[in-house]
Chain A
Amino acid sequence: MLKFLEAAPRLRHLFNWLIIVGSALLCLLILPARLPGTELMGIRPNWLLIWVVVWSVKRTVWQGALAGIALGLIQDGMTAINVPTVPDQTIFTLSDETKVVVDIALSYPSHIISLTIVGVLTARIQKQRYIQEDFISIALIVFGMAVIAETVTAVQYSLQGFRNPALVWTEHQRIALSSAILSSLWAPVVYYPLNRWWEYLNSKEQTS
C-alpha cells in the first residue's frame, strides 16, 4: 500500500500535513451542512470538537491547545456579526435607536476558549491508565468534552449579560445533551481514518 510513501520520509511528512489540514477543512465544510441522519431536534454534531479531541488524544497539552486556538479562531470568524445590531432595553426612546448601535462582534462568546479547554483536557487525560484506546472511549471523551464546551459557551453568555441568563441555561440543557449524544456517535467517523493514518506513520517512523 502506498509504496511511494514508504520510500520517502519527507513525502510522508508532507502527506501527513495534507491529511491534517484536509481533515480539518472537511470538518469545517460539514459544519453549515444539514446532512440527513446527523440531526437531532435541530441540533447537529460538533465536528470541530470531534476533530480537536481526535487530534489531542495522543498529543501533548500544547499541541492540543494550539489546535483549539486555531480552530476556535476560524469558527469565531464563521459566526461573527460585524454589522451593528440594535441592542436590548436601551431603545425605549425610538429616536435614540441610532445612538445605541453597537458592535456585537467583540462581546460575542468565543469558541477559542471552549475548544482550547477541550484540547488541553483531552491531552491531559491519563488515557493509558484509565481508558483504553478504542471507539467507546473516544466516544465517551467526546461526550464529556461536548458537555464541557457547551457549558463554557453558556457561562460566557451569562457573564456577558446580553441574553436572559434563565433562557441561556434552559437552552444549554437542550443543546448540550443533543450535541453531546450526536458528537459522540459520529466521533468514530473522524477518529478511525485519522487514527489509522497516524498509527501507520508512527510505525514507519520507528522502523526507519
Chain B
Amino acid sequence: MFTVRRWWERYGSQFILIGIVLGVALFIRQTQGALIFELYAHAIRPFQTGPPPDEKWREGEVERLEGQLTALEKQNEELKKLLDYKEEQQLESISARIIGRSVDHWWQQIILDQGSNEGVKEGYVVTSPGGLVGRVIKVTPHTSRVLLISDPTSRVGAKLSRNNYMGYIRGGTKGTATMVFYEKVPNVKKGDQVVTSPASQLFPPGIHIGVVESVHLQQNPAPEVEIKLTAPIEFLEWVTIHPHTTKY
C-alpha cells in the first residue's frame, strides 16, 4: 500500500497527464479531426476576401460544355427511344471556397468552407468549371473534406461519351488519371471525352471528367488509357457541391 502511494505521489501527475494527452489525441482521431478543421476554418476566415474569379472559370466551362454537348446528343438520341423518361429532381447546389489542401502529400483531398450548417452531407458530389472534382467524405459544421478523383484510392465509374464503352477511373499523379475498361478491345482513341457512367453508384451520370490522352490497350488484366482531367484541380479556388445520394 505504502509503495503504491509513494509511486502515485511521484508519478501520479505524469500518469494523468499522459492519459489526458492520449485521450485527447484519440478523441480527435475518432472524430476525424473535426475540432481542428473547425478551428482552422475560423482561424483563416479573416484572410478570405473577394468574389469568385469569373474570367478564369470561363475557359474551363467552355471545355466542359463541349464535352457535355457530345454526351447530351447521345443521351437525347437514346431518350427519344424511351417513352417512360422521367426527369430527375434537381436540388440546389452550393458553391464553396477551397480553404485547405490535404494534410499529407500521400493523400489528395481538399477542405471546403461549407459544412453541415449549409446543408452539405457526406457523399455529395463536387464539381468545378472543368468537370468532376471529387466527393465529400467528411463534414463538420463549417467545413467539408473532399476526396479528389486524382487520389490513387479514388474510383469513379466512367464511360466514353462517344460510344458508351464502360470502365472506371482511378487517380494517378499530377492531374492525370487512368481509365480501365471492362471490354477487352474497346474502341477508344486520343481525344475522346470521358464522363461518369450511369452504372456508377457514387456519382450521378454524365458529369464530364476528362479527355483521353494516351492509349495502352495491351495492359493486363484490362486495357488502360491515360486521362487528362479537365478540372484544373491544382489551381482551383472555388467549387460547386451538388446534392447526391449514394446508391448502396
Contact = CB atoms under 8 A, between A and B. Distances in A.
Contacts of B94: none
A79 B25 contact: no
B36 A74 contact: yes
A163 B152 contact: yes
B28 to A, nearest CB: 5
Interface stretch (B3-11, B79-87, B106-114, B210-218): B106-114
Contacts of B199: 94, 97
Interface in A81-105: 81-89, 91-92, 94, 97-98, 101, 104
Nearest to B136: A83
B101 A32 contact: yes
Interface in B81-106: 99-106
A77 B33 CA distance: 5
B153 A104 contact: yes
A51 to B, nearest CB: 13
Interface string A14-56: 0000000000010011011110000000111010000000000
Nearest to A75: B103
Contacts of A69: 22, 25
Interface residues of A, number: 52
B243 interface: no
A86 to B, nearest CB: 4
Given A32-B103, A70-B22, A83-B135, A77 B32 contact: yes
Given A28-B36, A32-B102, A33-B40, 15 more contacts: A25-B39, A29-B43, A32-B111, A43-B105, A73-B22, A74-B33, A75-B33, A82-B138, A83-B136, A89-B221, A92-B182, A94-B166, A94-B199, A97-B199, A97-B201
